[in-house]
Amino acid sequence: METIALSENLKETIRIDAKNMYYRQLNDMVREAIASGAKDVIIDSVNGQRYIGAGIERKDVTIIINGTPGNDLAAFMDGPTIIVNGNAQDGAGNTMNDGKIVIHGDAGDVLGYGMRGGKLFVKGNVGYRVGIHMKGYKNQIPVIIAGGTAGDFLGEYMAGGILILLGLNNNTHSIVGDYLGTGMHGGVMYIRDEVNPYRCGVEVGIAELDDGDKNTLERYLKEFCDDFSLDFNEIIKERFVKLYPKSSRPYGRLYAY
């Protein structure tokens, strides 16, 4: 890919109209644009096309999506930045390894499933099973921040990384659902609300944030607020609680006899 000679015809920005386009053709065009050296790919009239940005390995590329991208947005993505001006459907950031997704709307279910690196910022609400089995290793720390509320099973089987839930503009009685962190054995969640223990899996501990937690939270939250033009000071002044796994290996002795 790097061997392609950059001609004077090189366009840094390529714009694609995705109206009524099948997802395979759209994704071929995005890949061709990036291969030809484009740094910004703007896709208009997106509606339901799946797998946009999937598997792309370049760090210096930004894909801007105007519309509603389909399922498995940025699955296995490894580097690019994706900005969605709209809502995302199910499975965004599925097993993503690196890069950043910024969604200026809501996101659906199984957001960041098995995510192993990169950042996933959602301005609005997120669905069920968000951050299910996300994991981290050494410098690979996946981060999901959602500005709104989350459905049940947030951080289920969580093995690593950071999940932050803000509950901004929330009118419901709880910003989290049930089965919170069920099976959690790594990583950490910061929830900007009281968390009733009955909503949590038995593997989850609830604690106050220590100084290390506060540093981590503030660092990522500032970036989130910059991306969405939100008032950091307003958001940080509310109380957060920390959810952590009581054990890194809760079922290590389950089959031992």
Partner 1 sequence: MRSQELLWRTKDPEILRQLGKDISGCGLSGIINIRGQRISGEAIRCSIACQHDRGNGLGGGFAAYGIYPRYRDYYALHIMYDSHDAKNSTEDYLDHHLSVELGERIPTRPVPNINKPPLLWRYFVKGRKEEEGDFEIADDEYMVKIVMGINATIPGAFVFSSGKNMGVFKGVGFPEELAEFFMIDEYQGYLWLAHNRFPTNTPGWWGGAHPFNLLDWSIIHNGEISSYGINKRYLEMFGYKLTLMTDTEVVAYLLDLLVRRHKLNLNVASTVLSPPFWKDIEKSDDKEKEAFTALRMVYGSAMLNGPFAFIFGFTRGMVGMNDRIKLRPFVVATKGDNFYMASEEAAIREICPEPDKVWSPRAGHSVIVELDRSVTV
According to DSSP, residue 197 is labeled: G
Written as six digits, the tokens of 32 are 């061709």
Which helix (H) or strand (E) element contains residue 122? strand 119-122
**Complex with partner 1: residue 179 or 240, whichever CB lies closer:** 179
Least Cβ distance, residue 243 to partner 1 (angstroms) = 20
Nearest to 90 by CA among 114, 72, 67: 72
Least Cβ distance, residue 227 to partner 1 (angstroms) = 22
Least Cβ distance, residue 106 to partner 1 (angstroms) = 8
Least Cβ distance, residue 6 to partner 1 (angstroms) = 36
Written as six digits, the tokens of 151 are 């459905």
Nearest to 129 by CA among 105, 93, 98, 100: 93
Least Cβ distance, residue 182 to partner 1 (angstroms) = 11
**Complex with partner 1: residue 130 or 235, whichever CB lies closer:** 130
**Complex with partner 1: residue 54 or 61, whichever CB lies closer:** 54
Written as six digits, the tokens of 30 are 């995005």
**Complex with partner 1: residue 68 or 81, whichever CB lies closer:** 68
**Complex with partner 1: residue 108 or 187, whichever CB lies closer:** 108
Where do the H-state alpha helices sit in 89-246? Answer: 211-228, 232-236
CA angle 115, 215, 184 (to 5 degrees): 40
Least Cβ distance, residue 69 to partner 1 (angstroms) = 8
**Complex with partner 1: residue 81 or 89, whichever CB lies closer:** 89
Which residues in this chain contact partner 1 in the complex, by CB under 8 A?
Answer: 23, 47-48, 50, 67-68, 70-71, 87, 89-90, 106, 108-109, 127-128, 151-153, 177, 179, 198
CA atoms within 13 A on the CB side of 32: 8
CA angle 130, 225, 15 (to 5 degrees): 80
